[in-house]
A and B are shown apart, each in its own frame.
Chain A
Amino acid sequence: GDSVTQMEGPVTLSEEAFLTINCTYTATGYPSLFWYVQYPGEGLQLLLKATKADDKGSNKGFEATYRKETTSFHLEKGSVQVSDSAVYFCALSSNAGGTSYGKLTFGQGTILTVHP
């Protein structure tokens, strides 16, 4: 079945540091890939997405490129801020087997803490 694996956390960085959170996936066919973010005390919000190979999703300075050859969708940001402290979830949506109800398969989440 489908699965998503994220790098182990937590990740602790100083403000303005470079961020990478690794995400790899296993899926049948051609899934869509997502990064969701969960700020403290809130639900998840869609951060960015990519629907086909070599697509780059970007938002709020974050970027991720859909790499089919390495089955990866790593999240990057060039200069993090304290306000980026949150839990980040990688997810995929696959239409394999005729599923069309929007099933999302999530990774385990990576806690990011940014210090001033």
Chain B
Amino acid sequence: DGGITQSPKYLFRKEGQNVTLSCEQNLNHDAMYWYRQDPGQGLRLIYYSQIVNDFQKGDIAEGYSVSREKKESFPLTVTSAQKNPTDFYLCASSIEGAKNIQYFGAGTRLSVL
């Protein structure tokens, strides 16, 4: 089945530790996105990538980094600068001709120990 796979589903990190969240898609989509879902605030865009080897900051990029070395993969690194105790991250992708129709993964919940 085609879709977007995020792993792991739950992740714990220690203060001062960087962690990387995985996002893989087999939909052959060009564009990929990372969002953080904050309770009561909806989704906010962290980074997006329209093509391989290119990515742009979204609205809340501070404390995060990404790479896009392959079309199928768009990993997100959460650095120690990110202070929230628990966050829920969603990855999405879209096709070139309909970028505002996005397909989402099931999410990763990241907690600080």
Chain A interface residues toward B at CB < 8 A = 4, 32, 34, 36, 41-46, 49, 89, 93, 100-104, 106-109
* Residues of chain B with a CB closer than 8 A to A103's CB: 45, 48, 100
> What CA separation (Å) do A101 and B55 show in the bound complex?
11
Q: Inter-chain contact count A-B, CB under 8 Å?
A: 60
Contact B100 A44 (CB under 8 A): no
The distance from the CB of B105 to the nearest CB of chain A, in whole angstroms, is 5
8 A-B pairs with C-beta separation under 8 A: A43-B4, A43-B90, A44-B92, A46-B102, A101-B56, A102-B33, A102-B102, A104-B100
> What CA separation (Å) do A112 and B33 show in the bound complex?
26
Contact A43 B105 (CB under 8 A): yes
Please, which residue of chain B has its CB at the minimum distance from the CB of A92?
A: B100
* Residues of chain A with a CB closer than 8 A to B105's CB: 43
Contact A49 B48 (CB under 8 A): no
The distance from the CB of B33 to the nearest CB of chain A, in whole angstroms, is 8
Contact B101 A49 (CB under 8 A): yes
B81 near A: Cβ within 8 Å? no
Contact A101 B48 (CB under 8 A): yes
> What CA separation (Å) do A112 and B69 show in the bound complex?
39
* Residues of chain A with a CB closer than 8 A to B103's CB: 46
The distance from the CB of B48 to the nearest CB of chain A, in whole angstroms, is 6
Across the A-B interface, the 9 shortest Cβ-Cβ residue pairs? A102-B99, A43-B104, A93-B100, A106-B42, A44-B104, A106-B43, A102-B100, A108-B42, A43-B106
B40 near A: Cβ within 8 Å? yes
> What CA separation (Å) do A4 and B42 show in the bound complex?
10
Please, which residue of chain B has its CB at the minimum distance from the CB of A6?
A: B42
* Residues of chain A with a CB closer than 8 A to B107's CB: 43
> What CA separation (Å) do A4 and B6 show in the bound complex?
27
Contact B100 A108 (CB under 8 A): no
The distance from the CB of B52 to the nearest CB of chain A, in whole angstroms, is 15
Please, which residue of chain B has its CB at the minimum distance from the CB of A44?
A: B104
The distance from the CB of B76 to the nearest CB of chain A, in whole angstroms, is 15
Contact B104 A45 (CB under 8 A): yes
Q: Which of B4, B40, B94, B99 has the most CB of A within 10 A?
A: B99
The distance from the CB of A33 to the nearest CB of chain B, in whole angstroms, is 10
